[in-house]
Structure 1
Amino acid sequence: MMEMHDLCAMAAREARCVLATAIKVEGHAYRKQGVSMLLTEEGGMYGSISPGCLESDLQARVDRVLDTEQLEFVEYDMRPADDLSWGETIGCGGLIIVLLEPVCGELRSILSHMHTYFQSGSTVELTRSFYHQYTRIHYVIKVLIHPSESAAAATDSGFGSGKSEFQREGRSEAERWDIPLQISTRYVPKPRLIIVGAGNDVIPVARLGQSAGFRVVVADWRETLCTPERFPGVELVQGFPREIISVLDIQGGDYIVLMSHQFPREREFLELLEDRNYAYLGIMGSRTRTARLLNDLPPMKHVHSPVGLTIGANGPEEIAISIAAELIACKRAASAKERHNLQRGNAHASDGHRAGSR
């Protein structure tokens, strides 16, 4: 599943593309309010808003949006019980209003800045403010250095965007749908999955980690194993534990898996973790081996050993699935805890999407 982190990266590589965002959702829908996807002039689609019943129609609108450089609102009303024109085989329902924005000018700059912030581990809140009867839009991004920080501690970066006027029917439609004049969406960066070790059994773990929404880093001191050919699309860090610990700059939201099968190196790495915060520490191997690794060390936080969920896994691929499943479970639990904390503080809606009053 593509997240905004991915879409920002894709937008930088696509010369002509459109950002589609579900800005209003009522009733049952496949994705939550605030979710986005990227549509390119060449027919590429990155991310999704529905299980596939809306994307073709959205793609058909891309050329017009790019040629006119105008925003466009699109309504998909799938609430009538006798209306099977949308998603008749997958049971879609609800009302979805999608905003189409040409990625040019200030929006392209905004997405570039957001990607930079995501890469540094910052949470970003993007606010769209409509004015001149929805004919123009102003963007503001608010940066949270760490997800746990309050909005009051954020840094504002404002960017204005004066777009061409909508056609008359677009203006009245936005008013009819009661689209708020201000909409804010909060985006959390991908958590990092740091895998210490670059053996053959790491390859499926890295691949599944990427698919599960992690920013994967593979670290190893063996140059012949730690290569882009073996780990495409993965960040690689070469060196012994004491050489790479400062490069990794481990943070509280990082997930770490030790699977180098090299006892002395993993012991060295654990010693360097003593005073650091992280979200997850998975250790490959038996409980006996892990007990030896941790012997005489202060209690380590968030240890999962043997790494992975107990599913009777056999062989590298199944073991990788069990590890990925445990990583997903821990990530979801952490997200639920953060949402609970935000709700208690009344800082944001539970889906990270807020609408200002009209």
Structure 2
Amino acid sequence: MIDNVRLQYASWIEISTLGCLSCTAYFEASMKLRLRGQCALVYQGEKTFEDYVYQGFSLCEAAILRLSESLVPGHYLYFDRYFSTTKLLNELHLRGFNSTGSIMKNRVPKGCTLSDDKDFIKKPRGTTEVKCRADGKLAITKWLDNKPVLMISSCFLDTACVTCSRWNKRIKQYQNIRRPEVIKNYNSNMGGVDLTDRLLAVCPARSRTKKWTIRLIFHMLDLAISNSWLLYRDRQRTKGILSQKIEQFKEYKLNLGEKLITKNCPPLLTEEVDSSLENYLAPAHKKRRVDIKPLPAKKNREALHLPEYTDSQMRCRKEGCKMKSTVKCICSDIYLCLVKGRNCFAEFYN
């Protein structure tokens, strides 16, 4: 879960470990599952969480509780230091959720006595200190990495540790240190949040308007596109396709835009072919490997792909054909064989 305060609006999003909205992940898992709540919220003033605020919860606590309404009990929830409070974890525990998050130092209960940071930082890297509540339902863990880290959890209540590798600046090499289970699980499950943040920062749809409504619409479009690409990448990986052959996010977003533009575009004359599509090829270099292929959306346009005979010969662009041809497509501007016994032109477009 992330707190997104940008571009004159605030929104809260419930994200799975894959990086998609949680409702998207549930829809993929079960087509019959019906959600009761929301997986994305936009702050609309004091009345956004009026019922929770009336019960004494803060804004961040109310956001987590509202988002958790779409989940069934038994889920593991992870959030950062801006949300974590003992009051929130107690309420989530009563609702049947297992919660973990980093916590601010000033939100640690006064009855929980932990080592002072000045003394704690002098101890060996990987030192762990755990304080568990008397009822055994809540624990605060202090771990020394480059600096002290505070975690609060209702599901990781012991001192169990695993080994991890960390870079040591003093000796200039990696060394193995002890890391609590709560830190390991928090880092592995919060990766989806960081991934979504990175994708939203890649070629975002921005406008020069200052109206927050337009910016919010563009932000939600970016979020929808990043969700679709993550699902596409996950499916390609399950099919065993190599990462190098999976369409990258920028290319995926560009192709999606081209397809939406040409989706309902009427048939055009050859003289009216959009010049922007003709300039899709990579910038010219002195020496480069030629691999010219038109966009799929452009490749399937109506009544545009017509052959034209030229005086020059070029290598046929159909995959697997190594012959040269004098026939050129007037739309895609690529050469394809069109002779008796070898009709690469028809095979390429069909």
Shared fold, TM over 0.5: no
Q: What is the TM-score when the length of structure 2 is the normalising length?
A: 0.27
- Computing the radius of gyration from Cα coordinates, the structure with the larger value is 2
Higher relative contact order (CA 8 A, sep 6+): 1
More strand by share: 1
Q: What is the TM-score when the length of structure 1 is the normalising length?
A: 0.27
